Structure 1
């Protein structure tokens, strides 16, 4: 823990360390008026991650997945979330990790990926920074069945969804995953810009 001109750490306590680490921090934060305020905050760290949206220019489809998500179930929502493929970095370079995740989850191998941006998805409580990529795929890029890794509890359905339908699924709530919405809207905006002259 490093003190700075706006932050002084008092204490920390690891509350849980299983898949990730949940830590409670006591700290002093320097407010904009120069006064110091003592705060207690919890932060969850399970590492950084990467996600990617692949688009097939021939079929105009995007490659998505559907899988069970316990936290969504606990929130009383449909837990079978439609998402862009993603995975934890676990020390790997984001692009390398994404290529491996694409094969594991979807069965597709691609040669070119473009880095788009890096986003903090839940900065109030989670340390994760997510790297976003895009790329092109074709049906003949399939090298395996996908579906994820069974011993990790993954049971992933692979979906080829027309881009315009996927955008409509955001409006209906069928797609409600933040990373996927960002990638779909980015693709739609880039497509719009390319046709706007």
Structure 2
């Protein structure tokens, strides 16, 4: 091969192998209608093509999200702080439950502002220190609600301002006792179990 032909061959662009297309992480909503609209949540019936190519119809409860407040009092016993717990009747569960204070985030409301508001409304307590503990989906199979857990520390008492339909008994339970109640099945509320056990695990680190 002549030097001229060699030079011409070496100057040709080299084709790179085509990159494999990345699998889609987004769903395509083909059709959506509101099946129910209430004060706290709505339900949409969606025809959707999900990542992977499966097209199906999904009923989804649409919720603006909630905040949970793990209010801790270390003033009497820092080694075994008390946790602010509410006892109230839950019609869906058909029984009284022990729960952390919690509530819905209003449209346009910041999660931390919602947490401070809910703590005051339900318990009267305020906290000088706030931090995020964890955020998770409550039940992603059919519910869009996310739950943001806030740790509230250096708390001080005040006057509660519960809503008309809220009948709440307020309890101060030591962390060690509360863990025992969770392990023995006396606490059945999922957000409370998750938040308390995560807090307890973080304290051991």
TM over 0.5: yes
Report the Cα offset of residue 6 of structure 1.
4.8
User: 2:132–2:149: 8 Å Cα contact kept in structure 1?
Assistant: yes
Q: Please state if 1:133 is matched with 2:150.
A: yes
* Counterparts in 2 of 1:27 and 1:56: CA distance versus 1, 3 Å: same
**Paired residue secondary structure (1:122):** coil
Aligned residue runs from structure 1 range 21-100, under 5 A: 21-31=42-52, 36-57=53-74, 58-59=76-77, 60-73=81-94, 79-90=95-106, 91-100=108-117
Give CA deviations for 1:138-179 in whole Å, capped at 9, x if unaligned. Answer: 5xx1111x37211xx111111101111100111121111111
Structure 1: how far apart are the matches of 2:26 and 2:203?
43
Structure 1, unpaired ranges of 5+? 74-78
Q: Please state if 1:143 is matched with 2:163.
A: no
More helix by share: 1
Structure 2: how far apart are the matches of 1:85 and 1:116?
14
**Paired residue secondary structure (2:92):** helix
The structure number with the bigger radius of gyration is 2
Structure 2, unpaired ranges of 5+? 1-23
2:130 pairs, out of 71, 90, 113, with 113
User: 2:34–2:43: 8 Å Cα contact kept in structure 1?
Assistant: yes
Structure 2: how far apart are the matches of 1:46 and 1:6?
20
Aligned to 2:14: none
Equivalenced residues, count: 176
Give CA deviations for 1:60-113 in whole Å, capped at 9, x if unaligned. Answer: 21001111212212xxxxx21111111111021111111111111111111111
* Counterparts in 2 of 1:27 and 1:156: CA distance versus 1, 3 Å: same
User: 1:147–1:155: 8 Å Cα contact kept in structure 2?
Assistant: no
Report the Cα offset of residue 117 of structure 1.
2.1
2:180 pairs, out of 157, 164, 168, with 168
- Structure 1 stretches (4+) deviating beyond 4 angstroms? none
User: 1:8–1:27: 8 Å Cα contact kept in structure 2?
Assistant: yes
Give CA deviations for 1:5-39 in whole Å, capped at 9, x if unaligned. Answer: 753322122111012110111122242xxxx3221
**TM-score, normalised relative to structure 2:** 0.80
